[in-house]
Amino acid sequence: MPAVNASVRAASIEVKSLTKRFGAVTAVDDLSFTVEPGRITGFLGPNGAGKTTTLRILLDLAAPTSGSCTIGGRPYRDIPDPSRHVGAVLEATNFHPSRRARAHLQMMAIEAGVASPRIDTVLALVGLTADAKRKVGGYSMGMRQRLQLAGALLGDPSVLILDEPSNGLDPQGIAWLRDLLRHLAAEGRTILVSSHLLAEMAQTVDDVVIVSKGQLRAQGPLSILTARAQSSMRVRTPEVDRLSEIARGAGFAPRQLGGGALLVDGATPEALGPLIASNGVVVHELVQVSQDLESLFLELTTSMTTRDQPVPAVTR
């Protein structure tokens, strides 16, 4: 993989109390989060959660109703030559089909004031050197994604903002993207990436920002968030009410799941087992719930009642 310039200046992304309304619809609702340099942050949420709207506001393509977004402490429009500091992939349709891939990058390079040799560097970086003279109209979705990424890397930016960058990529392409992002993050760059591919995100990201209905549901290092979620125990028992009371008395927060099952958040087998035995509760099943990013995501984004739920924001 060709080396990219390592002399990058780290810059954090900060979103503060961001709200965006489209008429009666609130797409982003008082959203605040921070993205740190040197880490890959996954921006996750179901369709219509406000991810793309947030990214567009961050990149000054849309105006917020209220709140602010800054990159390195500045609004995007106030960053001199922003493409030299921030690279973005928003969607794989921003091409003229009759223009050749190299010409597309050349067009961007002229506007950004980037020297032509850099075009060959980024084409090699995304593996499109052999197809650079082809018209983009003949490109596959995956090739377009690679070309978008090449455009984002043209200015050798210290911040990368990628909206669904793995769309259309084959498994090899996804693995390649993962390695590339890891490589770029290791150089100290700030990387914010939104995606629906949770399994892939789980392998790629260091931190997550989870949003739903425009609101922040969770933010923090993925390892801490999932580790905390892993401490739940599911118990199937004919004495649900009695065990709930016992668990509550021991300082846990049990939730009845129906069907004689109880979920005891924050409990471990070592803590809950003796408690059950000492109280002589009959149990049919005792399972440590092994949660991953997907289950955490689903837990935080389904059947939410918005403001009445606390936002689990954790720090490293």
Partner 1 sequence: MTTMPRLVRAELFKLRTTPGPWVCFAVVVLLTGLGITTSFIVGQHGVVHFTAPTTTTQLRRLMGAGYTSAIVMAPVLGVLCITTEYRHRILTATLLIHPRRPDVLVAKVLASAVWGVLMAVASFVMIGAMGIPLLVAEGGSFSHLLRQVGPVMPGMFAAYVLLAVYGMGIGTLVRNQIAGVILALGLSLVLEPIIVAIFGSLAHMDVNFLPTRATQALAGSLSARGPGGGAGGTSSALLSWWLGAIALVLWGTGTAVLGYFTTFRRDVT
List contacts with partner 1 (CB under 8 A).
56, 59-63, 76-77, 82-83, 86, 88, 90-91, 93-100, 103, 106-108, 110-113, 151
The smaller minimum CB distance to partner 1, of residues 97 and 238, is found at 97
The smaller minimum CB distance to partner 1, of residues 25 and 63, is found at 63
> 201 near 182, Cβ under 8 Å?
no
> 222 near 313, Cβ under 8 Å?
no
Q: Is 217 helix (H, G, I), strand (E, B) or coil?
A: strand
Among 191, 147, 190, 154, smallest CA distance to 168 is for: 147
Residue 62: CB minimum distance to partner 1, A: 4
d(CA 187, CA 190): 9
> 140 near 84, Cβ under 8 Å?
no
Q: Is 115 helix (H, G, I), strand (E, B) or coil?
A: coil
d(CA 43, CA 56): 13
Q: Is 66 helix (H, G, I), strand (E, B) or coil?
A: strand
Contacts of 10 (CB under 8 A, 6+ apart): 37, 38, 158, 188, 189, 190
Residue 24: CB minimum distance to partner 1, A: 17
Q: Is 33 helix (H, G, I), strand (E, B) or coil?
A: strand
d(CA 161, CA 60): 13
Residue 86: CB minimum distance to partner 1, A: 8
Specify the DSSP element, H or E, that contains 127. none
Residue 184: CB minimum distance to partner 1, A: 18
DSSP 61: S
The smaller minimum CB distance to partner 1, of residues 107 and 282, is found at 107
Residue 222: CB minimum distance to partner 1, A: 28
The smaller minimum CB distance to partner 1, of residues 88 and 169, is found at 88
Residue 96: CB minimum distance to partner 1, A: 5
Specify the DSSP element, H or E, that contains 108. helix 101-112
The smaller minimum CB distance to partner 1, of residues 116 and 309, is found at 116
Residue 83: CB minimum distance to partner 1, A: 4
Q: Is 124 helix (H, G, I), strand (E, B) or coil?
A: helix
d(CA 118, CA 48): 36
Specify the DSSP element, H or E, that contains 11. none
The smaller minimum CB distance to partner 1, of residues 62 and 313, is found at 62
Q: Is 133 helix (H, G, I), strand (E, B) or coil?
A: coil
Residue 98: CB minimum distance to partner 1, A: 6
The smaller minimum CB distance to partner 1, of residues 100 and 178, is found at 100
The smaller minimum CB distance to partner 1, of residues 83 and 237, is found at 83
